[in-house]
Amino acid sequence: SYNMIPDDKVPYVPGYVGAQTTNAFEMTFDGVDDYFNTSFSGLNGVSEATISIWAKTSNVTLGRFMYGNRDSSSPFHGLACQTWTDGLIYFYVDSGSYLTFNMASYGIQNDKWFNIVFVYNGSGSNNSEKVKIYVDSNIVGYGLSGNFPSSLQTTLNPLTIGLDQAADSYWSGQIDEVAIFDKALTADQVKFD
């Protein structure tokens, strides 16, 4: 999406199947020190955003971060996503008050690819409208606790894939097809994408 010119962008049309590509490559992380620094810090202060990522791990309960851009202050500021030892996936929307929430590990199995999408809409009237989580296009979680701000109060730290700087925790497994949108995708758009 980053390199598209306006003429290349098309609206989401129900039933439309776009051009398919064959992608035989992914990023593999050893869980020790592998990660990507995207140099992207454009999530600070935005009122809408969506992050989509495909991931696979051989141990979903290992407790590792898929991505993050939190700072190391206490309390943290920024975003992060991780699997945890209880088999759940946790998302963090930290703006100085530890606004964490979790979701059920719906459809997530060891050694199987899954797509996880985090949607933030700061104009929502309550937490369940501001934060939505999808796994394989099925909504599985909402914002649970705290008072989510009207814009993401992240740091200027660039988004890293396979690491959350604040926790110094590295992903073990594969990650592919990372996409960041500057709007809150609808359920239909998540499914289409």
pLDDT tens digits, 30-87: 999 999 999 888 888 889 999 999 999 988 888 889 998 887 776 677 888 888 888 7
Dump pLDDT digits (tens) for 121-178.
988 888 778 888 898 998 887 776 666 777 877 777 889 999 988 778 899 999 999 9
Burial 110-134 (b: 16+ CB within 10 A, else e): eeeebbbbbbbbbebeebeebbbbb
Of residues 192, 7, 30, 29, the one with CA closest to residue 115? 192
CA–CA distance, 1 with 84 (Å, rounded to integer): 31
Task: Look up residue 84 and give its two tokens.
Answer: 């945890």
CA–CA distance, 102 with 71 (Å, rounded to integer): 20
CA–CA distance, 66 with 119 (Å, rounded to integer): 16
Q: How confident is the model at residue 89 (pLDDT cuts 50, 70, 90)?
A: confident
Query: Could you give the 3-state DSSP secondary structure of residue 8?
Result: helix
Residue carrying structure tokens 């990023």: 27
